[in-house]
A and B are shown apart, each in its own frame.
Chain A
């Protein structure tokens, strides 16, 4: 099986450690993923802002670059949802890439049947359901299943796990006060669990929460799920 890494532009440039962690986990379970170096961005920022004509050539480009692979794995539910659910609408029909692109936890648990990747992470952790992972991809159990297999890790559920963190791409800068108030509400829910870490499958939510946590000097850490799974 030829497995391609789809590393969203955002992760590539600002959170490379998430991509690295994903590679480590995939190698640990015996896969040799490849990185098609021509990849850039899936087009989501333009698409979500209403610039579909700007997003379309990037969608076509993505499909061509990832054509030769059997599976495309991505450490972002949001970018996976873009490819799987929004490309068909943007391109006016189905494309091969749309059916073989997987979010990381979905790839591990559903496609490969792996739940225990041998990770060790002794901490009290709460999981934030990123909106696109949960509602576009329908992924709710896989990340939790993976977390429960991590040695030393205690998973505690927050009341508002499924509520948006307030990022929403350009929304966060177009409507900063609404976006920040939403982060505030979310963080209140995280705090009530007593967790030391909040874990998710999308680095954009985590960047948003982390930015607010640091500004408020609240000592809760954000981590991408791949980073937890890579820890030993």
Chain B
């Protein structure tokens, strides 16, 4: 087993036995489930909506070259600048380069998993540029020195009391139980920073090919401040984030919000179209879009699995996943955790190191059932498993070769079955099973024996 897989097992084991963690997460996801059920009831036909989103994303992913070029042309026409980054390293260099060129000392950063993916904050800090998380959840993560626990709700694992304790420890504020007060504390800390930051960095929920705009979804209003107050706005956008038309948002926005939080639409939705033009009162002086590949074209090349690029990062499959609920988001040690993370991480970061994730699933299919863009998530886990065994079969190859020999003829199968029952009657134990569970009591005769003797 490779060290990454070993670490995963250690972390997962620890969390699986942590009942406090389980209770907090179950409670938070219980609230989410109830909100989503109410949200879905607002749709005349949710499954039709899923089919429509899947169709739009299929079109995008299968004509990605055309849509990307169209998007680039439009951004340039709007006065923005476009940078293509093949790797995370290139993306970091571009962003640090822009900051240096303008002498930026402080950056305000919006919530964005893509910035997590390219490890942007450490790179900026290393370049001497102070970087502040402005999303409440990410801000709490930053104070605690933790990574996001979830792609939509970064501190889903914390209770209000946990947050209050963190604030008291790090900011010296008095303890409080009120969510409003906690938000107020963060807001007061951050407000000043927006006014003095030289650059704002955001991600994008969607990039619109026909207009060259990016769409940003949030509830707190901090993202809007990130791109409107500082002189420079940099948006980092995964190349799969495209949608063809503005009108597509009419369905993507509500379905993303409903799957993400149960809301009809999120509190604030912005369309950003470029730098401030002559005569406009506000907006940044420069608008940069970084189009990030970082392994996505490898997934694109895989015809069988490229629909994993349809993902709009709503987080629904994480919340639905009984494994995620049990081991939590940190055990994965990936930017994208949960079922979709287990599908795409082996593509983005290498199957050799990450093959354990597709196996850490009971294949219950709850992920696929909730996905608003109809990705057959659990089937892709099976595809990853198949790819893993054909790349490196390991000791299991022998097991399944023998198994197949037994299963290919009824007499051999009968012998195998008889042996299995004989061994288990004699208390032959498989510790990974018997450490926590009893084995079934083997019967004296099989069904086929009964059938013959009846």
Contact = CB atoms under 8 A, between A and B. Distances in A.
A7 interface: yes
Interface string A194-209: 0000000000000110
B365 A9 contact: no
B362 interface: yes
A179 B16 CA distance: 9
Contacts of B388: 50
Contact of B368 (A50, A135, A173): A135
B437 interface: yes
Nearest to A159: B30
Contact of A13 (B390, B400, B421): B421
B404 A16 contact: no
A20 B413 CA distance: 20
Interface stretch (A97-105, A116-124, A141-149, A180-188): A180-188
Contacts, number: 187
Interface string A1-37: 0000001010111111101100100000000000101
A119 B396 CA distance: 44
A93 to B, nearest CB: 15
B323 A178 contact: yes
State the main secondary structure of chain B at its contact with A: helix
A181 B17 contact: yes
A164 B366 contact: yes
B410 A178 contact: no
A137 to B, nearest CB: 11
A168 interface: yes
B361 A181 contact: no
Contacts of B396: 49, 51
Contact of A12 (B368, B433, B447): B447
Interface stretch (A39-47, A66-74, A107-115, A150-158): A39-47
Interface in B1-40: 9, 12-13, 16-17, 22, 26
Q: How large is the interface on B (under 10, 10 to 19, 20 to 34, 35 or more residues)?
A: 35 or more
Contacts of B404: 46, 54, 57-58
B451 A40 contact: no
A9 B362 contact: no
B430 A54 contact: no
A51 B400 contact: yes
A172 B433 contact: yes
A94 interface: no
Contacts of B449: 16
Contacts of B443: 14-17
Contacts of A48: 363, 382, 385
B442 A164 contact: no
A51 B389 CA distance: 7
B436 interface: yes
B100 interface: no
Contact of A16 (B327, B407, B445): B445
B172 interface: no
Nearest to A36: B410
Nearest to B18: A181
A185 B22 contact: yes
Contact of A167 (B13, B26, B362, B409): B362
B413 to A, nearest CB: 4
B362 A211 contact: no
Contact of B408 (A19, A61, A132, A180): A61
A32 to B, nearest CB: 13
Contacts of B26: 185
Given A131-B363, A178-B12, A54 B400 contact: yes
Given A38-B410, A168-B363, A211-B437, A176 B450 contact: no
B363 A171 contact: yes
A16 B450 contact: yes
Contact of B322 (A47, A185, A215): A185
B32 to A, nearest CB: 14
A179 B326 CA distance: 9
A164 to B, nearest CB: 4
B326 A50 contact: no
Interface of A: 7, 9, 11-17, 19-20, 23, 35, 37-41, 43, 45-52, 54, 57-58, 61, 89, 131-132, 135-136, 162-164, 166-183, 185, 207-208, 210-212, 214-215
20 contacts: A12-B448, A13-B417, A13-B420, A14-B440, A16-B443, A40-B413, A47-B382, A49-B396, A50-B382, A50-B387, A51-B389, A51-B400, A172-B362, A173-B432, A174-B359, A177-B12, A178-B16, A178-B326, A181-B326, A185-B322
Given A16-B446, A215-B437, 4 more contacts: A14-B442, A40-B409, A45-B403, A169-B362
Interface of B: 9, 12-13, 16-17, 22, 26, 322-323, 325-327, 359-366, 368-369, 379, 382, 385-390, 393, 396-397, 400-401, 403-404, 406-410, 413, 417, 420-421, 430, 432-433, 435-440, 442-443, 445-452
